[in-house]
Amino acid sequence: MAKVKIDQWEIEEEELERQHQAALQQGTRKVQSEPQAQTASYDAHTNRLVIELKNGVIFQLPCPLIQGLRDASPDTIAQLHLGPRGASLHWENLNLDFSLAGLLAGIFGTQVWMAELGRTGGRARSTAKTTAARANGKKGGRPSQPRQVTV
């Protein structure tokens, strides 16, 4: 059996070919299953990213939720580019990249950024939130968590 030397390692040609074929198959599966954008643009009127996937689904994301875009100018945000295969968004002038899969999963930045979004949302006050809290208070407040019984 012939061997191939890669740096300090040696591997048999058959094993190298097997690993190569497995990597190609894995890459093909990933390309077929990952969300891919056909177009991505910035809507200055609503301050949102508008992304159309290759399957026809269109979704919009408010720019203030996305780390790095909150304080960016509309002209800067509008300079977005699709990454390879449409699997990511890139802003050269902001040195900013987001995977489409991450954005679709609601990941708009680092863990610290996401935690701050949660804290800010929890502090938000609205008439609807106040009304709901008062109605809940009249019912005795938040229900207690059910106790778990193990048998």
Tokens 């987001």, residue?
98
Same domain (yes/no): 42, 9? no
Q: Specify which residues 6 forms β-bridges with.
A: 9
Same domain (yes/no): 117, 78? yes
3-state secondary structure 3-44: EEEECCEEEEHHHHHHHHHHHHHHHHHHHHHCCCEEEEEEEC
Same domain (yes/no): 18, 78? no
This model's pTM is above 0.95: no
Please give the residue range of the domain that contains residue 9.
3-33
pLDDT digits (tens, 9 = 90+) for 76-125: 999 999 998 899 999 999 999 998 988 988 888 877 777 887 776 666 56
Phi and psi, residue 90, nearest 5°: -140, 135
Phi and psi, residue 2, nearest 5°: -80, 145
Asked whether residue 140 is assigned to any structural domain, the reply reads no
pLDDT digits (tens, 9 = 90+) for 104-118: 888 888 777 778 877
| Res 61 pLDDT > 70 | yes
Same domain (yes/no): 43, 86? yes
Contact 113, 67 (CB under 8 A): yes
pLDDT digits (tens, 9 = 90+) for 36-55: 899 999 999 999 999 999 88
Same domain (yes/no): 41, 103? yes
| Res 140 pLDDT > 80 | no
What are 123's two structure tokens? Answer: 């502090």
Position 32 confidence tier, pLDDT thresholds 50, 70, 90:
low
Asked whether residue 150 is assigned to any structural domain, the reply reads no
The predicted model gives 59-84 an average pLDDT of 93
Q: What is the number of domains present in the chain?
A: 2
Same domain (yes/no): 60, 110? yes
